[in-house]
Structure 1
Amino acid sequence: MQKTLADSVIVLDFETTGLSPQYGDRAIEIGAVRLEQGRIVDRFQKLMNPGFRISRFIEEYTGITNEMLRREPPCEEVMAEFAGFIEGHHYVAHNASFDRRFLEAELKRAKRTYTGECCCSLLVSRRIYQDAPNHRLQTLVAHAGVARTGSFHRALADAEMTAYVWQSMIERVRSQYGVPVVFFDQMRELSKLSKLYAHRYLSSLAESHERGQERQD
């Protein structure tokens, strides 16, 4: 089976009514981009009606109002469409455990399934950008010097900026460690390691590449 390149994935973000679908919270916006060899080649963005009024706090936090959501399609309809967008791809999200909970819960409500893997760009950033003041998306956008594409806490803008941060981390692995091709499962493995072992792991990837080149020669 062909391995997935780290720069050819879906990057997604949810805006929601709260922190946990386990306690009745729902998605109100999904934003996603599809990367192919590091370039954004497709986008997906939809507001969705959770079936109840959202709090004033969420309105102020996201800029998404009850009036905006009133005529939007229900979550199940939007997520059924999104299932087609993400099908066949692995995905990346910043603080992925949060987004994964909502992705799984909303797809289940829509009677759709997803079989790909996810990787958390926040966890990866703690290994690659250890010199960053913190690892919130807003901070990493400035730290990595990538483009700000819109308002934070709107799903598509956050997904795009996460994609740029993700790509900047891949480029750092390539340039700093001499690894020309970075795979998705390598970034997932990196995300699970203690940051104390990140340098050793990335160095081992470079060594493996060099040994492979020597065998070919």
Structure 2
Amino acid sequence: MASNPAFLETAMVVLDFEATTPAGHPPQPIEVAALALRYEAGCWREAGRSSSLIRPPAFAPVTAATTALNGLTPEQLATAPPPAQVLSALDQRFTTGTRYLLVAHHAATEANLIYHQREHCPTLARINLIDTIPLAKHLVPGLDNYRLDTLLAHFAIPRPVDRHRAAADVEVTAQVFMRLIDAADHEGVVDDLAGLVTIAGRTAKANQPTQQHLFEL
């Protein structure tokens, strides 16, 4: 893996959203964080990071359950920028000509949130993902479950006090991902980027073929 050109040319962007789940609507982002990593000269190097609160729309207020989970309150988000502004700014950080993969724990969650905001982040919406859950199942078989907290305990990574905030979750997800890649490289289980994608890749929803209607009424 450490000598595979495609892997070395790819920026891995660890991504995490916090969201509300309004009835009758898809989840709405209220916080996002991203951490870009490159593997160079035998070690990981940070290539950039960003983090922002996001003001949810009126139909998706922050509930007591959301506050209990991540500590975010309606008052904190009242003056935050809207999704269009935050995700457009994040989208502009992805440069033309650079190969990217997004990395997330249970990547379907992030994939869905990005897809529903794709008009604000068209570049981000077309970047495929690596899911750390199937990667961990492949490389660390036999755990009771593959929740993020379980993997933190397995790798002796301290659980952050602000767990379930986007920036904190990105940091620890990145640490888990790096441990998994190191294990794959050391054990020779995954040889190249193509093998990594086969095990843990997820196609961005914007890249999936649109189902055609069989009949036009």
More strand as a share of residues: 2
Contact preservation (8 Å) 1:76, 1:107: no
Matches within 5 A, 1:66-105: 66-87=74-95, 88=98, 89-105=100-116
Q: Quick one: distance in 2 between partners of 1:19 and 1:184? A: 37
Query: Which letter does structure 2 place at the counterpart of 1:47?
Result: L
1:4 CA displacement:
3.3
CA distances 1:155-202 after superposition (whole Å, capped 9, x unpaired)? 1111111111011011111212287xx54332121237xxxxxxxxxx
* 2:54 aligned with 1:48: yes
Normalization by structure 2: what TM-score?
Answer: 0.77
Matches within 5 A, 1:109-124: 110=120, 112-114=122-124, 115-124=126-135
Contact preservation (8 Å) 1:19, 1:98: no
SS at match of 2:7: coil
Kindly tell me: are residues 121 and 7 of structure 1, through their superposed partners in 2, closer, same or farther at Cα, counting changes over 3 Å? farther
Kindly tell me: are residues 85 and 148 of structure 1, through their superposed partners in 2, closer, same or farther at Cα, counting changes over 3 Å? farther
Q: Quick one: distance in 2 between partners of 1:139 and 1:132? A: 8
SS at match of 1:85: coil
1:25 CA displacement:
2.5
Unaligned runs of 5+ in 1: 193-217
Equivalent residue for 1:188? Answer: 197
Unaligned runs of 5+ in 2: 202-217
Q: Quick one: distance in 2 between partners of 1:174 and 1:96? A: 22
More helix as a share of residues: 1
Matches within 5 A, 1:143-162: 143-162=154-173
Equivalent residue for 1:208? Answer: none
1:116 CA displacement:
2.1
Equivalent residue for 1:168? Answer: 179
Equivalent residue for 1:13? Answer: 16
1:107 CA displacement:
2.7
1:24 CA displacement:
3.7
